[in-house]
Homo-oligomer: A and B are copies of this chain.
Amino acid sequence: MVKSRSRDSNFDCVTCIMRHRSDWSVLGRDEVALLAGGQSSYSYSAGESVYSMGEAGVGVYCVCSGTVAIRRLDAEGNSVLLQLAYPGDTLGYEAVLTGEPHRCNAEALGPANVCHITTKTVKALLDNNPNLGLQFLRRTAASLDDAQDKLVHHATLSNRAKLAHLLLILMDRYGRHTADGTSTLHLPVSRRDLASMIGARHETVSRIIGRFETDGIAYFSGRSVRIPQVNALVEEIRPQLVG
């Protein structure tokens, strides 16, 4: 609910390194200038909201640094963490395209820089360069694919398997491998969020963590996780192998 981001002029699309890994990489030199002209950069600290469910879209947002959590709440106030957005990811274009209010909250998980690009600028760029729209389309299709994979997992895996799977995904971005085969991981989210990501209660996650520790699969201390054998997590995902 906090919204006290502060303006930050240190980020600029023209020189932004992340731009080359983002949807905006399809833009030409002139278009990047147009982008830079319609953009403002903001600094967020942990917990600050980028946009909220129900608000009208006033533009799109591009993550320059940090991690942004995309959440949706149901009628009873249960929060589900749907996606983590990383540098280079563009957020909030659904609201701009459809004119509907935002369907999700976007919240910085830690210190983050996020650029805001006005609706007017986005529409001008989409008119100017059709490849930008196709790029958004590819990105959205990938998100849809990801969401559908999650649906399949929710339908077929146990909570234990889903947590193991989630840890493997987080390993890709937050994990470090050491020489002896041990891996460590710094979780970007709370246990409650972990629970909402796999569709379980936070008490259940606590218990699964306890069982992971007694089974020697992963050891948790706060947000630090030590995983002796990454393969052991992979094994957890198969529901039950016959024989």
| Residues in chain A within 8 A of chain B (CB atoms) | 72, 74-76, 78, 80, 82, 93-94, 97-98, 103-104, 126-127, 130, 133-134, 136-138, 140-145, 147-156, 196, 199-200, 238-239
- How far, in whole Å, are A160 and B26 apart by their CA atoms in the complex? 47
A-B CB proximity, top 7 nearest: A130-B130, A155-B199, A147-B147, A94-B141, A154-B154, A137-B137, A133-B133
Number of copies: 2
Q: Which residue of B lies closest to A126 (CB)?
A: B134
Would you call A151 and B147 a contact (CB within 8 A)? yes
**A156 and B94 in contact (CB under 8 A), knowing A147-B148, A151-B150?**
no
- How far, in whole Å, are A127 and B141 apart by their CA atoms in the complex? 19
- How far, in whole Å, are A70 and B92 apart by their CA atoms in the complex? 27
A75 neighbours in B (Cβ, 8 Å): 238
Would you call A74 and B133 a contact (CB within 8 A)? no
Main secondary structure of the interface of A (DSSP, over half): helix
Would you call B152 and A151 a contact (CB within 8 A)? no
Q: Which of B141, B151, B239 contacts A151 (CB 8 A)?
A: B151
Q: Which of B80, B144, B155, B238 contacts A140 (CB 8 A)?
A: B144
Report the minimum CB–CB distance from A100 to chain B (whole Å).
9
A97 neighbours in B (Cβ, 8 Å): 134, 137-138, 141
- How far, in whole Å, are A137 and B150 apart by their CA atoms in the complex? 21
- How far, in whole Å, are A242 and B88 apart by their CA atoms in the complex? 44
Report the minimum CB–CB distance from A73 to chain B (whole Å).
8
A127 neighbours in B (Cβ, 8 Å): 130
- How far, in whole Å, are A189 and B145 apart by their CA atoms in the complex? 23
- How far, in whole Å, are A136 and B137 apart by their CA atoms in the complex? 7
Q: Which of B78, B130, B148 contacts A156 (CB 8 A)?
A: B78
A147 neighbours in B (Cβ, 8 Å): 144, 147-148, 151
A104 neighbours in B (Cβ, 8 Å): 148
Would you call B98 and A138 a contact (CB within 8 A)? yes
